[in-house]
Amino acid sequence: MLLPLFEALEASAIGEAIRDSLWLFPIVEAFHLVGLAVIGGAILVVDFRLLGLGLRTQPVSKLARDVQPWVIGSLVLMILSGFPLFLSEAIKCYYSFAFWTKMTALLLAVIFTFTIRRSVAFAPDGRFSPSSYKAVAITSIALWSTVGWGGRWIGFS
Amino acid sequence: MEWLANTEWSIALHESRYAYAIVESIHVWALCLFVGFAVLLDLRLIGAIFRGVPVSHMTKRLLPWTKVGFAVMVVSGVVLFYAIPLRTYYNVFFRVKVILLILAGLNAFAFHNGIYRNIAKWDTDGPAPRAARRAGMVSLVLWAAIVFSGRLIAYNWFDCGKPQSTLINAFAGCTPDMIDPYSQ
């Protein structure tokens, strides 16, 4: 059912332009990787704090609010750079286990980050127990790591 | 270098179906921890994030993790080099990356032995003093360029033997027997 859609996406002008160019794919991917470092840092710094590591002298809610624009900004950069990469090899992605793993994890990670994780991290310190902090942080790290690893493995398949 | 490429482990690594990919995934994961946290510190110096957090808290609490991330980056990076030593050694982007890494190291060294020495005076300032802001900006640019050049090592655009300027051949360290005489 999805295959015709993926075929159409692969045939798109952007997909074709990237395939035809020697350097476009690597350059866009390098931007994707720089974005990864930023989103990784912005996610991890709060997850570490929830685990009681890193910036543990700062209130969780303050850190989480401060870092939120960077999470959103780098997520936008990731999607803007990731979508053209996908367009250039949509059919390969359709048959790639790593791709579907990544997209499933990404969907779950985004929903989790902007619902449960957000309400726990934005709440005044003390509202939630240390163990719920830990559960949220571990879930977040597990989901986002799956997104990252899945993404890297699209290239190996 | 050739001797390194012919060692048993180097061949095993690069012929293995999964080992290389796993080490590279670790390299990419540690990137989030190391570059991610370094970027946060740089952004704090510039005053773009965590303005209310004293700079000394950032360095005291985050730098140990940055060091852990850096150690993982170096170890996994050395293994990646060891898996494909010859090609990497003569790769233009690898050489650019090493130079940029040295510059980033010098920048961090200059920061810690310069303006950071009197951190007490500006610890809680939103944007740090000019010298610290400059160190933060330089660091951001260098690390972005390091990620870029690292990613591009995978491409053979400027490999020895390609028709290209002698300048590039010299920078890549190509020996005369590696250069195609008819391509010049």
- Chain segment B98-116, per-residue pLDDT in tens: 999 999 999 999 999 999 9
Q: What does residue A123 show for φ and ψ, rounded to 5 degrees?
A: -70, 150
Using a pLDDT cut of 90, give the percent of chain A over it. 95
For B25, the 3-state DSSP assignment is: helix
In A, minimum Cα distance to B49 occurs at A66
H or E segment and range at residue B50: none
Q: Which residue type occupies B111?
A: F
pLDDT digits (tens, 9 = 90+) for B63-95: 999 999 999 999 999 999 999 999 999 999 999
Distance in Å, alpha carbon of A27 to nearest chain B alpha carbon:
8
| pLDDT beyond 70 at A141 | yes
Distance in Å, alpha carbon of B149 to nearest chain A alpha carbon:
8
Confidence of residue B161 (pLDDT cuts 50, 70, 90): confident
| pLDDT beyond 70 at A129 | yes
CB of A58 within 8 Å of any CB in chain B?
A: yes
Confidence of residue A27 (pLDDT cuts 50, 70, 90): very high
Q: Give me B126's structure tokens.
A: 């939103």
Are the C-beta atoms of residues B35 and A41 closer than 8 Å to each other? yes
Mean pLDDT confidence for A84-110? 97
**pLDDT, position A88:** 96
**pLDDT, position B183:** 57
| pLDDT beyond 60 at B184 | no
Are the C-beta atoms of residues A46 and A121 closer than 8 Å to each other? yes
Q: Which residue type occupies B15?
A: E
> Which of B141, B147, B149, B157 to probe by mutation at the A interface, max A CB count within 10 Å?
B147
Is B28 in contact with A66 (Cβ distance < 8 A)? Answer: no
Confidence of residue B182 (pLDDT cuts 50, 70, 90): low
Q: Taking a contact as any Cβ pair under 8 Å apart, which residues of chain A between 12 and 51 contact chain B?
A: 22-23, 26, 29-30, 33-34, 36-45, 48
Domain enclosing residue A54, as ranges: 3-154
**pLDDT, position B95:** 97
**pLDDT, position A3:** 94
Q: Where in chain B are the domains?
A: 2-153
Q: Taking a contact as any Cβ pair under 8 Å apart, which residues of chain B between 116 and 155 contact chain A?
A: 143-144, 147-148, 151-152, 154-155
N-terminal to C-terminal alpha carbon distance within chain A:
22
ipTM higher than threshold 0.85:
yes
| pLDDT beyond 80 at B1 | no
**pLDDT, position A156:** 85
Q: What does residue A44 show for φ and ψ, rounded to 5 degrees?
A: -65, -35
